[in-house]
């Protein structure tokens, strides 16, 4: 693996300039009394401090958001959409600054930060041009054709609460907020404590694009104590993070009878069939396993390779991994960046060491790289992993993948599905019809054929999310927009009532109804 120099002092001074002033985006109820450190994972250095908000700040944020929501919802959809069309261009114009902020506080490679800029731009464009169609009131089949009329309206839910993680600090703070705001809601977000500057920078730009200041509130700080009041005050909760925290959020939302969506972890399988284009699979799966140093909910952590191509695949896969360029540069030349934190490095190390102790073989990697930065870990490939080991069952969320051999389609599908998770899967075959058939048998919310994760993620018109312990609800597409709305059915009875007409005895009414219903079932268009 090639190595680059660690970040030097002159680059750090650029960082402090980059973050200056962003604290003013945070909502606090009074003067800030408590702050927490934000660290640069590339060096471990503290790059700034942000308010450690408390429940009173969350209350203040909801008060303001609630007040702002009415006027925001009163604007026409076109007016709201215009803000986001401007935002789309503004994000692209400010891409370099955004990439700097994302990189400095997440430690990821610049090209992986760029995927976030792309995601925000594409999601914003998609929903800005779809919102009107989604929000249009629609006529529906009436109770009694001709005699009554039914219309469904789509109202905003009110104030949406978002809790976002650190792995995609730009995408996951903004892309779920965009449809919520376009639908006429206001938003209160608590970004991950490790990466809040990115959210602040992106929200500052959104205000510049014309979003009313109070329509998007930010509180910075920790899940404990902010999570509970955020869920208690929200009219809808959108959470992305670990399955463990997701369960806490869901149970709190349950207590308040508040709807929520949860996008949680994955232990995503990749399958390389005997008829796969091995070279293409190697390239795609390297992205699938090591993008963002594997800290991606839809990244692949288990690869099942058919026995006929196993040897060839593994050799080429390991060879290419050993050429990956690890580093801390603020340039697009780096293939793999740092892990986010000590905690993440510990978890990754533990999974690998445990598997090694239980008999797994490390084909490449398997060690940290403190020479590059405190939390770097080498892209790692393991074999001889027993499927009962934690490494096969639990989300590692790092640059670690285990490879298993298989010989039969039914067997590999069963093994791929043998997981508490159900987020994403990837199948490689030159027979696309076979790939599509296999995909339908996989128990995950997205399946990519001849791609690792990006084809399904970027298909913004289609829902994205998890089955089983990987979550509840979906982002993207109509699902990812309409979840932020409250449907309201208005029915108008134009003539007669919903009972026996005057003068008709009820026994006769019942007899007529029985005949009518039987007839109705037999007439297409009346069902
Ligand atoms: P986490 O789920 O605790 O953190 C995600 C967000 O939830 C952060 O904003 C955090 O401040 C907030 N949070 C923490 N405790 C909370 C609570 N009691 N109530 C409400 N919000 C709370 O994840 P963490 O600890 O940062 O990472 C642990 C593991 O979770 C990772 O190793 C990875 O396996 C998984 N993870 C999965 C993500 C995904 O995209 N699916 C994203 C981040 C982590
Ligand atoms: Mg589920």
Query: Which pLDDT tens digit goes with each residue over 29-87?
Result: 999 999 999 999 999 999 999 999 999 999 999 999 999 999 999 999 999 999 999 99
The helix (run of H) or strand (run of E) holding residue 155 is: strand 148-156
Residue 14 pLDDT grade (very low, low, confident, very high; cuts 50, 70, 90): low
Q: Which ligand sits nearest to residue 190's alpha carbon?
A: 1
Q: How much is the mean pLDDT over the chain?
A: 96
Q: What is the mean pLDDT of residues 76-104?
A: 98
| Cα–Cα distance measured from residue 194 to residue 166, given in angstroms and rounded to the nearest whole number | 6
Regarding the beta carbon of 396 and ligand 1, being less than 6 Å apart is answered: no
Q: CB 140: neighbour CB atoms within 10 A?
A: 13
What pLDDT is stored for residue 13 in this prediction?
53
Cβ-contact 226, 191 below 8 angstroms = no
Q: Ligand 1 centroid vs 481 CA: distance in angstroms?
A: 23
445 burial level (CB within 10 Å; 0-12, 13-18, 19+): buried
Query: CA nearest 216: which of 300, 298, 160, 272?
Result: 160
- CATH fold of the domain at 56-264+478-485: Aldehyde Dehydrogenase; Chain A, domain 1 (3.40.605)
Ligand 1 atom closest to 163 (CA): 9
Burial 237-249, CB ≥16 within 10 A → b, else e: bbbbbebebbebb
Q: Is 263 a catalytic residue?
A: yes
Q: What is the pLDDT of residues 321-339, one digit of tens each?
A: 999 999 999 999 999 999 9
Geometric angle at alpha carbon 127, from 123 and 130, rounded to 5°:
145
Q: Which ligand sits nearest to residue 229's alpha carbon?
A: 1
What pLDDT is stored for residue 22 in this prediction?
97
pLDDT of 10 > 90? The answer is: no
Q: What is the pLDDT of residues 476-508, one digit of tens each?
A: 999 999 999 999 999 999 988 889 999 999 999
| Cα–Cα distance measured from residue 121 to residue 466, given in angstroms and rounded to the nearest whole number | 23
Distances (CA, A) of 362 to 241, 323, 345, 369, 403: 29, 17, 17, 16, 11
Chain centre to alpha carbon of residue 199: 15
What pLDDT is stored for residue 355 in this prediction?
97
Percent of the chain with pLDDT over 70: 97
Residue 347 tokens, joined:
């978890």
What pLDDT is stored for residue 526 in this prediction?
79
Q: Is 385 helix (H, G, I), strand (E, B) or coil?
A: coil
What pLDDT is stored for residue 357 in this prediction?
97
Which of 23, 263, 301, 378 is catalytic? The answer is: 263
Torsion 254-419-483-249 (CA) sign: positive
* Atom 6 of ligand 1: nearest residue by CA position: 165
Residue 220 pLDDT grade (very low, low, confident, very high; cuts 50, 70, 90): very high
Q: Ligand 1 centroid vs 1 CA: distance in angstroms?
A: 31
Q: What is the mean pLDDT of residues 398-412?
A: 98
Instruction: Give the domain ranges of the chain.
Output: 56-264+478-485, 268-461, 499-527
Question: The pTM is what?
Answer: 0.96
pLDDT of 5 > 70? The answer is: no
- CATH fold of the domain at 268-461: Aldehyde Dehydrogenase; Chain A, domain 2 (3.40.309)
Q: What are 402's strand-pairing partners? A: 302, 382
């Amino acid at each position: 693996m090639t190595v680059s120099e660690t970040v030097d002092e002159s680059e750090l001074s650029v960082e402090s300039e980059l973050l200056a002033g962003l604290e003013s985006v945070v909502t606090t109820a009074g003067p800030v009394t408590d702050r927490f450190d934000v660290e640069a994972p590339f060096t471990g250095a503290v790059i700034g401090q942000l308010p450690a908000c408390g429940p009173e700040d969350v209350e203040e944020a909801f008060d303001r958001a609630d007040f702002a929501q009415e006027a925001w919802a009163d604007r026409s959809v076109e007016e709201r959409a215009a803000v986001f069309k401007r935002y789309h261009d503004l994000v692209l114009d400010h891409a370099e600054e955004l990439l700097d902020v994302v990189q400095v506080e997440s430690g990821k490679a610049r090209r992986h930060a760029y995927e976030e800029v792309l995601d925000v731009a594409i999601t914003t464009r998609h929903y800005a041009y779809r919102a009107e169609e989604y929000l249009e009131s629609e006529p529906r089949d009436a109770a009694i054709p001709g005699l009554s009329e039914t219309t469904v309206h789509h109202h905003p839910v009110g104030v949406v609460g978002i809790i976002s993680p650190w792995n995609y600090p730009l995408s996951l703070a903004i892309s779920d907020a965009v449809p919520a705001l376009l639908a006429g809601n206001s938003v209160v977000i608590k970004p991950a404590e490790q990466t809040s500057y990115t959210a602040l920078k992106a929200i500052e730009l959104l205000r510049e694009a014309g979003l009313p200041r109070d329509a998007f509130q930010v509180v910075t700080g920790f899940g404990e104590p902010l999570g509970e009041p955020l869920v208690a005050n929200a009219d809808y909760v959108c959470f992305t993070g670990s399955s463990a925290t997701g369960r806490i959020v869901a149970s709190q939302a349950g207590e308040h009878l508040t709807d929520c969506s949860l996008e949680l972890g994955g232990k995503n399988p990749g399958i390389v069939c005997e008829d796969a284009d091995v070279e293409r699979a190697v390239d795609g799966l390297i992205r699938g396993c090591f993008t963002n140093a594997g800290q991606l909910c839809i990244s692949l952590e288990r690869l099942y390779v058919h026995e006929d191509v196993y040897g060839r695949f593994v050799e080429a896969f390991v060879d290419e991994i050993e050429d990956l360029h690890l580093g801390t540069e603020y340039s697009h030349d780096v293939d793999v960046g740092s892990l986010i934190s000590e905690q993440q490095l510990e978890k990754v190390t533990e999974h690998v060491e445990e598997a090694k102790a239980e008999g797994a073989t490390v084909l490449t990697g398997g060690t940290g790289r403190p020479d590059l930065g405190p939390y770097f870990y080498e892209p790692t490939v393991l074999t001889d992993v027993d499927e009962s080991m934690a490494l096969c069952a639990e989300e590692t969320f790092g640059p670690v993948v285990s490879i298993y051999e298989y010989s039969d389609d039914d067997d590999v599908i069963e093994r791929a599905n043998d997981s508490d998770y159900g987020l994403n899967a990837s199948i490689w075959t030159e027979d696309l019809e076979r790939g599509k058939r296999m995909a339908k048998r996989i128990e995950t919310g997205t399946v990519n054929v001849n791609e690792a994760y990006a084809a399904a993620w970027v298909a913004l018109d289609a829902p994205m999310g998890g089955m089983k312990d990987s979550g509840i609800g979906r982002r993207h597409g109509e699902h990812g927009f309409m979840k932020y709305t409250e449907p309201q059915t208005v029915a108008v009875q134009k003539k007669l009532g919903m009972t026996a007409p005057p003068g008709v005895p009820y026994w006769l009414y019942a007899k007529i109804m029985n005949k009518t219903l039987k007839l109705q079932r037999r007439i297409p268009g009346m069902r």
